[in-house]
Amino acid sequence: MTDNVWGYRETSGRPQGVDLTGFKVEAVDGIIGKVDKHSDEAGSAYIVVDTGPWIFGKEVLLPAGTVSRVDVDEERIHVDRTKEQIKNAPEFHRDTHLRDEAYRAELGTYYGIGGPYGGRII
């Protein structure tokens, strides 16, 4: 796990300049949805995942540091969290949370070192 949960790991294989919109997102225990939006902003990178029927059509925001691997050929992003960990994350509302520093700090703590899982998979 990176110390900066808002940056892609060097080992993730995240290619520069590739639009991740529409890529399937897979937790360690199965598919959670597709990328609806992403940001590669330095120190502030994330993916927004449309969970479809999995969490009743809600979206979740995952910091880039949760991405373990990007497979461009299969258009799939693997994250190192379980479905349960993602489902239990602080609730995301696109209209208010995308630029909300307090929400980002809360989410960074949840997914990062010192969070409920210490940056680890349960």
- Could you tell me where the DSSP H helices lie in 1-122? 83-87, 94-97, 101-111
Number of domains in the chain: 1
For residues 42 and 4, the answer to whether their CB atoms sit within 8 Å is no
* Structure-token pair, residue 64: 């880039």
The predicted pLDDT at position 19 comes to: 96
Q: Is residue 15 a part of any domain in this protein?
A: yes
Please tell me the pTM assigned to this model: 0.89
Q: Is residue 118 a part of any domain in this protein?
A: no
Q: What percent of the chain has pLDDT over 70?
A: 89
Band of pLDDT at residue 21, cut at 50, 70 and 90: very high
Q: Is residue 49 a part of any domain in this protein?
A: yes
CA distances from 122 to 14, 83, 85 (A): 24, 11, 8
Q: Is residue 46 a part of any domain in this protein?
A: yes
Q: Is residue 17 a part of any domain in this protein?
A: yes
Q: Which domain holds residue 48?
A: 10-111
The predicted pLDDT at position 86 comes to: 94
CA distances from 106 to 13, 21, 122 (A): 27, 25, 19
Q: What is the pLDDT of residues 103-112, one digit of tens each?
A: 999 999 999 8
Listed residue (52, 83, 51, 49) closest to 63, CA to CA: 49
Q: Is residue 107 a part of any domain in this protein?
A: yes
The predicted pLDDT at position 2 comes to: 42
Q: CATH no. for residue 40?
A: 2.30.30.240
Q: Is residue 2 a part of any domain in this protein?
A: no
* Structure-token pair, residue 68: 């373990």
Which residue, chain included where needed, has tokens 């497979």?
71
Q: Is residue 122 a part of any domain in this protein?
A: no
Band of pLDDT at residue 119, cut at 50, 70 and 90: low
Higher local confidence (pLDDT), 112 or 27: 27
Average pLDDT in the 5-18 region?
92
